[in-house]
Structure 1
Amino acid sequence: MSETSTGSKKQEFQATERIEAPQGGPGRGPMGGGMVGQKAMDFGPSAKRLVALMRPDRGKAVAVVLLGVVSVLLMSIAPRILGHATDLVFNGFIGSKFPAGTPDSALPAAVQGMDVVPGEGVDFDAVARVLLIVLALYAAASLLAWLQGFILNTVVQNTIRQMRSDVEDKINRLPLNYFDRSPRGELLSRVTNDIDNVSQTLQQTMSQLLTSVMTVLAVLAMMVWISPLLALVALVTVPLSLIVTAQIMKRSQGQFVAQWRRTGRLNAQIEEAYSGHALVKVFGRQAEVERTFAEENDELFKVSFGAQFVSGLIMPSMMFIGNLNYVLVAVVGGLRVANGSLSLGEVQAFIQYSRQFTQPLTTVASMTNLLQSGVASAERVFELLDADEELEDAPALATPAVRRGEVAFEHVSFRYDEDRPLITDLSLVARPGETVAIVGPTGAGKTTLVNLVMRFYDVDAGRITLDGVDVAGMPRSTLRGQIGMVLQDTWLFEGTIRDNIAYGRPDATEEEILEAARATFVDRFVHSLPDGYDTVIDEEGSNLSAGERQLVTIARAFLTDPALLILDEATSSVDTRTELLLQHAMAALRTDRTSFVIAHRLSTIRDADLILVMEDGAIVEQGTHESLLVADGAYARLYNAQFRAPADEAAVGA
């Protein structure tokens, strides 16, 4: 593995900056994975923030509310009118039992308060007219509800699209140290699983929640209109419903947060085991990987089961309370009909309203688990969106008119961790056209040095200049546009070989791409592939050898025509003959360019204009290959360890 962030820095981040999740320990896999856990936000603020994301579609949101109001009003009026049809049928049936012309005084006391006409039966024409009106109301309400759902779906999908866009933009603004301490699987889980869960939650709950709230208000108004006493009876169970729901939600919300954090942890373990599948096989760690997966899977099962079970108690609890409400309304309503205070149709309508009143509460309760799960996922997305970003570029300073590639470190100090200095008061100058080789033991700070030039990290003290301009005052895009970098760890994108070479310069012509390929000997192996430069490779580059992938990345850097070239063990994956050819090609490329070459194989940097020997973040020696050998210091020890020891062993063997 390359020293992308140096070995000591990696250890520090893993040891000090990973925040353990509250359940079950660190969650490390056999390959060192962990997860970043942060304190979950409260349900209320997170839900409000989620709803606030819909603000750009406020016009459509208003239309959704208006359509919902009209739909609910129509649905609420229909039972009252339907109760009139019941009265027509009942009064007609009772009237048919008495002879025509019977005086009201001769009718039973319970009948005298009704609109009964002795001798007349049921007026089916009137009943039909009432039923048609009710049918029209229900049809109109359903049409408006469908239109409301259609518009709301548009709002939700626009919101999720914007959330994904915000996350993508955020990832591009995050500093490198965020990715150093965040397992890839955990980050991918937030970007994919959690956002998908938020989408499903909004899709399934927003319309029903909005309709339910408006239904409760409209139905309550109708119940009070029919009978304030029965309305009071129906409201008796509401506080009980709220108390039960609040208590269950309080217990289940934390479990939903744990569920999605455990999901991210499991994804991180799976991702690292899959990415390192060959390594797992080589070291025979399959059993340990399977055991770790089983442990994480069991923990996810436990928290998921707990979250779903506890939140699932809301629905049966609300149904029980709703049935109590129904019994109370039926008993009191029957007594009111018996004493003539209410008609049968009014009681029937009221019972319908009581069902419509408790049904939205039950619906809301049944969606609580979905809502809590969605808000828990939203919290995790918001944690990513709220992470500290890379410092903004300062106002751009004047860029040099002529690119020379002179790099100067002036009393530079840097540390990854506050308690462990890495580079202290380092000064050096790389002249235009010089090749500066950086050598030293692992963790000495070699890659850190070039990372500071690239502004992957900013210095703590001092400054770094490129052609006399402080890099801290240059926009990162401008700075990095003048630098070509080739790392030991190759990374190719899914696409053709041509696309991968042109990644650094999308506007490059075909001839320029071919010229870069020939200069870096990519052209030698491309013609042996079935589709040549149009050969499609995946992001792992599995259909190319390690050396061929390295050549493609070098060609990519050649094509950018940089003022400053950084090679971090760039030839470590190629054979000796190809390495020799590449050295000649890079020697031509380095003409009139400053080059930083990080190397462990000292044979590759003998011709460097300046060799820097680093130990513990400091330059302990500098000079040419010959002068450093004569000095018989740290460089000589490194050189002798590579070349003389094998020679001595060969002599002893002979």
Structure 2
Amino acid sequence: MARNRYDMDEILEDSFDVNQLKRLAGYIAPYKKKMAGVILLMLSSSALTMAIPIFFQNVMDHSIPEKDMKSITFYSIATLLIALYSGISLRIKIKTMSVIGQNIVHDIRYDIFCHLQELPFSYYDDRPHGKIQVRVVNYVNSLSDLLSNGIVNTFTDLCNLIFILMFMFALDVRLTLICLCGLPVLAFVIILIKKKQRRAWQIQSNKQSNLNAYIAESINGIRVTQSFVRENENTGIFNNLSKNYRKSWMRAVMFNFTMGPSVDIISTFTTALIYVLGVRWILAPDMTLTVGVLIAFTAYIGRFWAPINTLAGFYNSLLTAISYLERIFETIDEPVGVRDEPDAIPMPEVAGEVKFSHVSFGYEPGQKILEDINFTAEPGETYAIVGPTGAGKSTIVNLISRFYNVDSGKITIDGIDISKVTLHSLRTQMGIMMQDSFIFAGTIMDNIRYGNRSATDEEVIRAAKTVCAHDFIMEMENGYKTQVNERGSRLSAGQRQLISFARALLADPKILILDEATSSIDTETELLLQKGLNELLKGRTSFIIAHRLSTIKNADCILYVDKGDILERGNHDALMEQKGEYYKLYMSQYDFLK
């Protein structure tokens, strides 16, 4: 997949093979009994309708010449009952298959979403989110028609073809062979466009993905767009992407529309030939063909080419679906870099000792972010991590939570290697506040309770008061029941951070991780918050990343990180006495504030 680019087509890492259709069949398998019942129902309906042309033959050759009104009445009533049964069967089929098709779509989408929940941060770091979203929604939706109608129609129409051919051969072998002459021509057309058609739908899915990625990016960045007056430029980019999508779609459906007209042309030609030869044989002196047989046969011709046309449509849907299945299964097959080991055990209730032993890590092979990191945080201690931007501060805390696996070395909590325990049992004992204070659509109460669904309203309010969020929440129109938009657009950056802070604290963690927790909070609020933090940090092992060094002066140990290594360590007073890198950093902020 293209890396963080909306203008680059995705490249499939694996080519399509028949095993992907087998995987699709695995989703269909739970519904095979209901589908078999629908197929049998439709076959019974088709079998009965096969008799209608025979009724016409008997009426033309016998009932009308013999003026037999009873038989005409009988055939009319029988035809009406068959049509009624066929209509009821079709209604049952549509209703049943619509439910089955949507259930299968749900199952596929559910598997994709569940897998996305397990994929590591690195997967999302490297991909436009719009290109991920289009696979979960659009691509899966594109399978709906194939699953709801295509499969049952294909089985039914294949059986119908066999029934129809049996009746056609029984009526007249010569006319049947003339009708079948069109099939080799149709097969040649299919072979001719097959590869181009599949490739066209792959390109179309690429252009759709690019367009979706840019739309998602534009919506997320709309404030920046309007601030820098980029509306016209962005509209131009969108226009080009939309044109590319339209062009690719038109080319793809052009191949699809080739099938229908091809079937119509071949069927019209063979039907005309049958009429010409049929009339000649009727007018021949030995009259080798009757009018009733010709009328019945022409009725079967329509029934013969109708399923051929449906099968051609199924073939088109299948080739379209294949281009989407490739993307869907590629996502499901994306390896989960961070997952429970087969023999992983639940993490016992932790006391809080965190130890890094010769830990090295890099996001890309050969590019180390951390190199041979060693330190031990005792239970209840507060560790502050400082250093220049890009030094690896956030990487250290991400490794504690095992959002990434270390390249070498070991991280232990209470002497237990965190790679040997289940992720759920590890992370449920941590409270984490990231740099990105993400707010979900819903109430403020729900957002704070996100990490502890069993918390009472009183506990939520207590956490909010601890982080000094209670006052501004109560000033909103509905207090804690106030609805906030996705990403918290109604809230200021500082308010979003305070809510995220309360969310982390409510989890009542043994290990607390605060990544730039106070970066968007004003100085007055920071002073109030610091009082609550001092009480909260007691008895917890805490890791705090902060650029404002005034917030970490009371930390038990401060790690100065740069160039992948811990250059200095100690408490504030000790590091100030050394007059090293920490001292320079602190004094630069002090001078700036003066």
Query: How high is the TM-score relative to the length of structure 2?
Result: 0.94
Aligned to 1:220: 165
1:195 is the counterpart of 2:169: no
C-alpha contact 2:3 2:126 (8 A) present in aligned 1: no
Q: Among residues 177, 181, 184, which one is paired with 1:232 in the alignment?
A: 177
- Post-superposition CA distance 1:79-110 (Å, at most 9, x none): 123211111256x1xxxxxxxxxxxxxxxxxx
Change beyond 3 A, Cα 1:618–1:369: same
- Post-superposition CA distance 1:29-62 (Å, at most 9, x none): xxxxx67542574385544433431100111011
1:349 is the counterpart of 2:296: yes
Aligned to 1:336: 281
The code of the aligned residue for 2:438 comes to: W
User: Percent identity of the aligned residues?
Assistant: 35
1:609 is the counterpart of 2:556: yes
1:295 is the counterpart of 2:214: no
Moved more, 284-293 or 429-438: 284-293
Aligned to 2:264: 319
C-alpha contact 1:88 1:127 (8 A) present in aligned 2: no
Change beyond 3 A, Cα 1:293–1:598: same
For the residue of structure 1 that corresponds to 2:287, the secondary structure is: coil
Report matched runs for 1:414-425 at 5 Å.
414-425=361-372
Rounded Cα–Cα distance in structure 1 between residues aligned with 2:149 and 2:33:
21
Rounded Cα–Cα distance in structure 1 between residues aligned with 2:187 and 2:221:
50
1:554 is the counterpart of 2:528: no
1:56 is the counterpart of 2:3: no
Instruction: Give the Å deviation of 1:132.
Output: 2.2
Instruction: Give the Å deviation of 1:328.
Output: 2.1
Q: Among residues 314, 317, 333, which one is paired with 1:386 in the alignment?
A: 333
Rounded Cα–Cα distance in structure 1 between residues aligned with 2:3 and 2:159:
43
Instruction: Give the Å deviation of 1:567.
Output: 0.5
For the residue of structure 1 that corresponds to 2:432, the secondary structure is: strand
1:484 is the counterpart of 2:431: yes
Rounded Cα–Cα distance in structure 2 between residues aligned with 1:260 and 1:633:
56
Unaligned runs of 5+ in 2: none
Aligned to 1:281: 226
Q: Among residues 60, 72, 78, which one is paired with 1:133 in the alignment?
A: 78
- Post-superposition CA distance 1:620-644 (Å, at most 9, x none): 1111222222222222232233233
Rounded Cα–Cα distance in structure 1 between residues aligned with 2:515 and 2:225:
27
Rounded Cα–Cα distance in structure 2 between residues aligned with 1:582 and 1:319:
76
C-alpha contact 1:485 1:566 (8 A) present in aligned 2: yes
Rounded Cα–Cα distance in structure 1 between residues aligned with 2:348 and 2:89:
64
- Post-superposition CA distance 1:8-32 (Å, at most 9, x none): xxxxxxxxx8469xxxxx644xxxx
Report matched runs for 1:72-87 at 5 Å.
72-87=46-61
Instruction: Give the Å deviation of 1:554.
Output: 0.8
Instruction: Give the Å deviation of 1:564.
Output: 0.6
- Post-superposition CA distance 1:199-242 (Å, at most 9, x none): 13433534433333222221111111112222111111111112
Moved more, 127-136 or 56-65: 127-136
Unaligned runs of 5+ in 1: 1-16, 21-25, 29-33, 93-120, 648-654
Rounded Cα–Cα distance in structure 2 between residues aligned with 1:464 and 1:481:
17
For the residue of structure 1 that corresponds to 2:335, the secondary structure is: coil
Aligned to 1:88: 62
Change beyond 3 A, Cα 1:436–1:516: same
Rounded Cα–Cα distance in structure 2 between residues aligned with 1:620 and 1:399:
32
Instruction: Give the Å deviation of 1:462.
Output: 1.3
Aligned to 1:520: 467
Rounded Cα–Cα distance in structure 1 between residues aligned with 2:550 and 2:415:
32
Change beyond 3 A, Cα 1:43–1:376: farther
For the residue of structure 2 that corresponds to 1:540, the secondary structure is: helix
For the residue of structure 2 that corresponds to 1:128, the secondary structure is: helix
Change beyond 3 A, Cα 1:311–1:322: same
1:563 is the counterpart of 2:510: yes
Instruction: Give the Å deviation of 1:309.
Output: 1.7
Change beyond 3 A, Cα 1:74–1:265: same
C-alpha contact 2:347 2:426 (8 A) present in aligned 1: no
- Post-superposition CA distance 1:537-590 (Å, at most 9, x none): 122222222211211111111111111111000001111011111112111111
Change beyond 3 A, Cα 1:40–1:144: farther
For the residue of structure 1 that corresponds to 2:455, the secondary structure is: coil
- Post-superposition CA distance 1:433-491 (Å, at most 9, x none): 11111111111111111111101011121111111111111111111111101122211
- Post-superposition CA distance 1:591-613 (Å, at most 9, x none): 01111111112222122111111
Aligned to 2:440: 493
Rounded Cα–Cα distance in structure 2 between residues aligned with 1:89 and 1:19:
75
Aligned to 2:577: 630
- Post-superposition CA distance 1:272-326 (Å, at most 9, x none): 1111111122233323322221221111111111111222122112111111110
Rounded Cα–Cα distance in structure 2 between residues aligned with 1:424 and 1:312:
60
Aligned to 1:599: 546
Rounded Cα–Cα distance in structure 2 between residues aligned with 1:75 and 1:456:
63
Moved more, 285-294 or 530-539: 285-294
Provide the aligned C-alpha RMSD in A: 2.1
Report matched runs for 1:141-540 at 5 Å.
141-337=86-282, 338=284, 339-366=286-313, 368-394=315-341, 395-397=343-345, 399-400=347-348, 403-540=350-487
Rounded Cα–Cα distance in structure 2 between residues aligned with 1:320 and 1:197:
29
Query: How high is the TM-score relative to the length of structure 1?
Result: 0.86
C-alpha contact 1:486 1:554 (8 A) present in aligned 2: yes
C-alpha contact 1:156 1:202 (8 A) present in aligned 2: yes
Aligned to 2:41: 67
Rounded Cα–Cα distance in structure 2 between residues aligned with 1:592 and 1:19:
43
Aligned to 1:640: 587
